[in-house]
Amino acid sequence: MTSDRWEPAAFKARIDEVLHRFVAREADEFTAIDPVLGPVADQLEAAVAEGKRMRAAFCYWGWRAVGQPDSDALVRAAASMELVHAAAIVHDDLIDDSPLRHGRPTAHTVLRGAVERRPGADATARSLALLVGDLLMSLAGQLFTNSGLPAAYVARARPLWAVMARELIAGECLELLSTGERPDIAVSLKVIRYKTAKYTVEQPLLIGGALAGAGARLREGYSRYGLPLGEAFQLRDDLLGLFGDPGRTGKDSADDLRGRRPTALLAETWRLADEGERELLGTLLGRQDLDGRGVEAVREVMRRLRAPDRVEDMIGARVEEALGALHEMDLPAHATRALTALTRSAAVRLS
């Protein structure tokens, strides 16, 4: 894809090729240290095997919207955003003790099988998965720095990486500290903003823009567009997590309920619930043995209170806000078209 026409499948193929080659080479170097490291190296490659490549796309269009041309070096820099995401996913699955991601066993689950004959296999597997995530984050910085873009361009954007990491980790910490507490919509939205929204849309856009030398006014526009869209993306994830098709989402529908995670969907349900409904929710949320009947009981309360509809309204309002900000920016027509399409892809999806 080298024309101004936005072709998502072609772009994804370019990102996939960069990631698979780069990580395969790094995995080989890692295993060359000692063959016993093979299972860990395998998880590096598994972490980038699939993905929507949305974060890379926002970085790419953060650059293109400034008027800069397509280039392979840009695609390599944009691909580094996906390694940040891969690192975050490995860590998040570990923190949540999630067994599945995209329908496949998570890193710590696979590594548990690889070390099952060792004493303390569970702790060893979790430690190894933690290190997989750490290495992926390191590789993200390496790919970005060595993308082939001029050093002066990279230097303009590099400080934003510290901001991205700080906000991502702050969001993860906020989620941990609020898990199990009384559900609160303000807390849930703050977690969404820092854990997901910023590093999914806003920061990739800003990094792409910084690489291209975007001015202050355009950077402000990117934030006005990116923040509400990133929040809409995660709100959609919350809905899909409980009401989506597990065959498409690749996740267990009960995960958020067993973990009593501070989702906006749960917070809205709790806010609207009466005393009896809260009592029922209190007996179900956080139970590790929560089965399909228990999940359906929670869903029924949510449907009765129309909490999913309220979250849909929140998504719609944020999409409208993002599109409004997008059309206020004086971007090239092809960039506006591409970002409009990405807005729909982020907020209206089945997985």
Q: What is the pTM of this model?
A: 0.94
The verdict on residue 2 lying in a domain is no
Q: Is the pLDDT of residue 3 over 80?
A: no
The verdict on residue 1 lying in a domain is no
Please report which confidence band the pLDDT of residue 88 belongs to, taking 50, 70 and 90 as the band edges. Answer: very high
For residue 205, give its domain range.
Answer: 8-347
The verdict on residue 124 lying in a domain is yes
Closest CA to 140 of 244, 46, 217, 44: 44
Closest CA to 252 of 98, 111, 51: 98
Report d(CA 40, CA 192) in Å as an integer.
Answer: 30
The verdict on residue 33 lying in a domain is yes
**Mean pLDDT, range 228-254, rounded to an integer:** 88
8 A C-beta contact, residue 339 and residue 65? yes
pLDDT at 252: 74
The verdict on residue 68 lying in a domain is yes
The verdict on residue 250 lying in a domain is yes
**Mean pLDDT, range 29-49, rounded to an integer:** 97
Task: Kindly state the DSSP code that residue 183 receives in the 8-state scheme.
Answer: P
pLDDT at 255: 80
Q: Is the pLDDT of residue 351 over 90?
A: no
How far CA 302 is from CA of 104, 250, 269, 297, 311, in Å, comes to 28, 22, 6, 9, 11
The verdict on residue 3 lying in a domain is no
Closest CA to 140 of 127, 156, 126, 158: 158
Give φ, ψ of 100 to 5 degrees: -130, 150
pLDDT at 101: 84
Report d(CA 75, CA 60) in Å as an integer.
Answer: 7
Please report which confidence band the pLDDT of residue 272 belongs to, taking 50, 70 and 90 as the band edges. Answer: very high
Digit-coded pLDDT (tens) for 303-349: 999 999 999 999 999 999 999 999 999 999 999 999 999 999 999 88
Q: Is the pLDDT of residue 130 over 60?
A: yes
Please report which confidence band the pLDDT of residue 244 belongs to, taking 50, 70 and 90 as the band edges. Answer: confident
pLDDT at 45: 97
Our count of domains for the chain comes to 1
CATH number, domain at 307?
1.10.600.10
